[in-house]
Structure 1
């Protein structure tokens, strides 16, 4: 089994610990990005994974390639061109102070990419799964055209296609997102969203839920999944459910709607070390489990456990093994020292 992901890899700069931007005398540098994070998760789980993108032909672009290569991701289709790698600055929140993200990604190499840059039939040769997020087409109309070409080629080659809606208000409006994303949905088999993506992108709101207050209605998200399935005929719909107590503590769970049945995971109370990449780690876990033939409920529990563990790990990537995820999914959440 082989998976392919397509998107942007960025340089992440963050003040040490919980310092605010104006306090920082230095920034810690790592690399990350939605589809890059998913590829790393899959490679860590033993799934051959290729990441497709475009990075500048300079030492920073090469460093991003090296970052993916060190985790076993196939970098053959990380093309070089353009002038710069996108950057985002992260200020980690704590207690009642929320995290903040500032983007510096305008005119990044991938945002200048065109569909002609990518030989999708060759890229998908021998692959079983294709994954992208709503962040990638938001980078520009030419990138959206490349995503559409990828979806069409993936479907023609018989791949399963998954999409994490991943709405980013700093990249585009809900109106533009809805119109653009609707073009891709006929090719998508597995739709992944968080508790507010469906509303922001497609105007489908969960009744009786208060995201800010941390109150999430199971029946409300059943209705969201049913409407998504009805509108786009997805094979499966997965929705992560984050109950926000504070920036430091959340309740974490998810729902999977597949074959006419609703499955809800156990809920994990998590104390957050780093929440960036939490949704990507869920997607990576779900893709791994589905590729491995897990039953729907087991696939959901694996994905939620994987993403629960990610919240304890610094950086964008999820550095966990299949065995560690299965231990947590099996009920051992004690956190006791392993000797």
Structure 2
């Protein structure tokens, strides 16, 4: 495993790049003839955040060679992400429409990503020995498995190449029922196939229950996570850490959030944070993942690593768009803050 004390870590992130269209404010789609545009994607959000935090992030994906594909790649480069691993192929850019919620009206996502360049790119197009040659870490999510047989094979090829090359692997389950659709029955086996090779898992008790075909009936969220983590460690010998956030909704705008992380030796939790007047919760889990990876790469103690990840997740809720744009000092200031005075 990579020496986490090194100042900068080279991490390869593999997944689909997306264009997000959402109406202004809390309007319904096409209530007025305007959409705000953001670029993102689960792995891309992690790559961008880690680049902002000072790491060498490499994005591996496929985009159409047109103005939208180039704009998406340009947005990643703006955040210092290495886009040399992006293949330009036939197809279209994946799109999702976000209808932002408010008060007691939940947000809703509509996916429009069938036949995207990424979905159509076969596993053989990715030269993993070359892409991983100087990398320390591979990060990917279960969304790759949900998009279809082609992307699932590509994700499995990436994981096997990383394992063969001695790289560390983090995997975010990111189970999205709308994406799995009629292939949902394949999800447990495909997810298990990657979790079995991972060093770090971002997932909760519901993810473990899905993969193992069991249930964790404990009433307390921490105890459910503890039981799920124990089952995960027993099932997958390579797994070293499992982390997640737990959210309590009062309504769309006001929530409580706390973080959990289990190792083979102990279970850690953070204090709960009240998130009032949420600006944009999309990408909060990716901010948490990037924060935890940053702490791991910097050699932080486990508790400090989890607290940093939680700070990143909380602060992302204040930023429009998919990516946490804040730097290490911002997260540390959040953890140390005694007031909300203007920082001058």
Q: So what's the TM-score if we normalise by structure 2?
A: 0.93
1:130 corresponds to which residue?
138
Paired with 1:315 and 1:258, the residues of 2 have a C-alpha distance of 32
Unaligned runs of 5+ in 2: 1-8
1:95 corresponds to which residue?
103
1:191 corresponds to which residue?
201
Contact 1:225 1:237 in 2 (8 A): yes
Paired with 1:75 and 1:192, the residues of 2 have a C-alpha distance of 24
Q: Secondary structure at the match of 1:31?
A: strand
Relative to structure 1, the CA distance from residue 202 to residue 25 in structure 2 (aligned partners, 3 Å threshold; closer, same or farther) is farther
Contact 2:205 2:229 in 1 (8 A): no
Which piece of structure 1 moves more, 196-205 or 15-24? 196-205
Q: So what's the TM-score if we normalise by structure 1?
A: 0.94
Relative to structure 1, the CA distance from residue 333 to residue 57 in structure 2 (aligned partners, 3 Å threshold; closer, same or farther) is farther
**1:229 and 2:233 matched:** yes
- Mapping 1:1-339, distance limit 5 Å: 1-172=9-180, 173-194=183-204, 196-209=206-219, 217-233=221-237, 234-271=239-276, 272-330=278-336, 332=337, 334-339=339-344
Paired with 1:188 and 1:145, the residues of 2 have a C-alpha distance of 17
Paired with 1:174 and 1:10, the residues of 2 have a C-alpha distance of 22
1:213 corresponds to which residue?
none
Root mean square deviation, CA, Å: 1.4
Unaligned runs of 5+ in 1: 210-215
Paired with 1:205 and 1:336, the residues of 2 have a C-alpha distance of 46
Q: Secondary structure at the match of 1:328?
A: helix
Once the two structures are superposed, what CA deviation does each residue of 1:31-51 show, in whole Å capped at 9, x if it has no partner?
Answer: 011000000010010011001
Paired with 2:30 and 2:206, the residues of 1 have a C-alpha distance of 31
Q: Secondary structure at the match of 1:226?
A: helix
Once the two structures are TM-superposed, the CA of residue 87 in structure 1 deviates from its matched residue by 0.5
Once the two structures are superposed, what CA deviation does each residue of 1:180-211 show, in whole Å capped at 9, x if it has no partner?
Answer: 111112211101014633334444544234xx
